[in-house]
Amino acid sequence: MSKAKAYSAASAASPLAPSTIPRREPRADDVVIEILYCGVCHSDLHTARNDWGNTLYPVVPGHEIIGRVVSVGAGVTKFKPGDRVGVGCMVDSCQHCEPCKHGLEQYCDEFPTLTFNAFDRHDQMPTYGGYSEKIVVSDTFVLNVPDGLDLPGAAPLLCAGITTWSPLRHWKVGPGSRVAVVGLGGLGHMALKLAHALGADVTLFTRSPGKEQDARRLGADRVVLSSDAEQMASVKGRFDLVIDTVPYVHDINPYVPTLNISGTLVVVGYLGPLDPFLNSVPLIMGRKSVAGSLIGGIAETQELLDFCGKHGITSDIEVIKIQDINEAYGRMLKSDVKYRFVIDMASLKAE
């Protein structure tokens, strides 16, 4: 057992503060990673504040991890010291159920081992996330970061990126596809970039006027104000896929009529009951679907990183010091970031 510096929350009411956490001694299949950058996700904040009622304290958030390999276990052949690597939302799964055998570890029948706020399935130690100086992860769940990809900008690809990439790939988006994105935030801005790079015609739905210039820079071909009935009517029956990235309770009914025959609206931003109830009439009358999607498997995440390396795609970020994380949480609640905070973990050395 070794010790590592970290920032953790001791309770739902306490701010994140410096702490020391245990990290296991490497197993034969483990990779020891020095964490260089860690993205800040809404789920970090939700977990730190126990919004979902399942937080294990003390909790060290962070699952958008970019780092450098320090050492590897005796059985590791895919990685070597000095490699640029990433770790996303999962650090293990059962590896033998049908979803796992098909590269869908995020849907593991036994539930995947999350990067933080979980228990290791081998030694039952708590898992601690990326707001730390190092992490030890099975090589199966470590990702290669392509050369030339900006490291801090690559961090959010491991959650925000893969969360939007997975539905784009599952619903086979490519040239000729018509895609709409609901909401322009950490997830939404990645959806615009990725859909555009795949060759789709891309529309942004937003409730906030004045986002057109930024949306077009990110890849949108048009912007529709969802509070404007005339603008919404102008895109009735247009889209093959609508990716809903809104992270709070909202009404999805207005977006269903914008789907074409057999189109799908996929929810990726909000976890929980939606209000009001979903009207089934436009679904039945147009063979339309409402679906959900959760991050992506390891192979699919590597595919995303390779695609982003080829096309030079990273997240739009604001780099912060770890000492500013509580302020960043407050700003994130006000949507005061374009579009993702990333922690420079070199700042932890100052503690």
Q: How confident is the model at residue 107 (pLDDT cuts 50, 70, 90)?
A: very high
The predicted structure's pLDDT at residue 4: 97
Q: How confident is the model at residue 179 (pLDDT cuts 50, 70, 90)?
A: very high
Residue 275 has pLDDT above 90, yes or no: no
Distance, in Å, from the CA atom of 41 to the CA atom of 155, rounded to the nearest integer, reads 10
Q: What does the block give as tokens for 264?
A: 């799908």
From 45, 340, 342, select the one nearest 193 (Cα to Cα).
340
Cβ-contact 109, 98 below 8 angstroms: yes
The predicted structure's pLDDT at residue 260: 98
The label of the residue with tokens 């959650």 reads: 159
The backbone region for 148, taken as left when phi is positive above 0, alpha when psi lies in -120 to 50, beta otherwise, is left
The predicted structure's pLDDT at residue 76: 97
Q: How confident is the model at residue 349 (pLDDT cuts 50, 70, 90)?
A: confident
For residue 201, the cross-strand partners are: 178
For residue 34, the cross-strand partners are: 68, 134
Distance, in Å, from the CA atom of 15 to the CA atom of 6, rounded to the nearest integer, reads 13
The predicted structure's pLDDT at residue 269: 93
Residue 304 has pLDDT above 90, yes or no: yes
Residue 333 has pLDDT above 80, yes or no: yes
The predicted structure's pLDDT at residue 29: 97
The predicted structure's pLDDT at residue 1: 85
Q: How confident is the model at residue 143 (pLDDT cuts 50, 70, 90)?
A: very high
Mean pLDDT, to the nearest integer, of 85-103?
Answer: 98
Digit-coded pLDDT (tens) for 256-272: 999 999 999 999 999 88
The predicted structure's pLDDT at residue 209: 87
The predicted structure's pLDDT at residue 276: 84
Q: What does the block give as tokens for 252?
A: 């999805």
Report phi then psi at 201, rounded to 5.
Answer: -85, 125
The predicted structure's pLDDT at residue 350: 80
Mean pLDDT, to the nearest integer, of 172-185?
Answer: 97
- Taken in order of first residue, the domains within the chain and their CATH numbers are 2-159+296-350 (3.90.180.10), 160-292 (3.40.50.720)
Residue 77 has pLDDT above 90, yes or no: yes
The predicted structure's pLDDT at residue 192: 98
Mean pLDDT, to the nearest integer, of 55-70?
Answer: 98
Residue 351 has pLDDT above 80, yes or no: no
From 213, 211, 159, 210, select the one nearest 187 (Cα to Cα).
159
Beta-carbon contacts of residue 102 (< 8 Å; ≥ 6 apart): none
Mean pLDDT, to the nearest integer, of 153-172?
Answer: 98
Q: pTM (2 decimals)?
A: 0.95
Mean pLDDT, to the nearest integer, of 297-319?
Answer: 98
Mean pLDDT, to the nearest integer, of 19-45?
Answer: 97
Mean pLDDT, to the nearest integer, of 41-48?
Answer: 94
Mean pLDDT, to the nearest integer, of 40-44?
Answer: 94
Beta strands at 259-267 and 289-292: parallel, antiparallel or unpaired: parallel
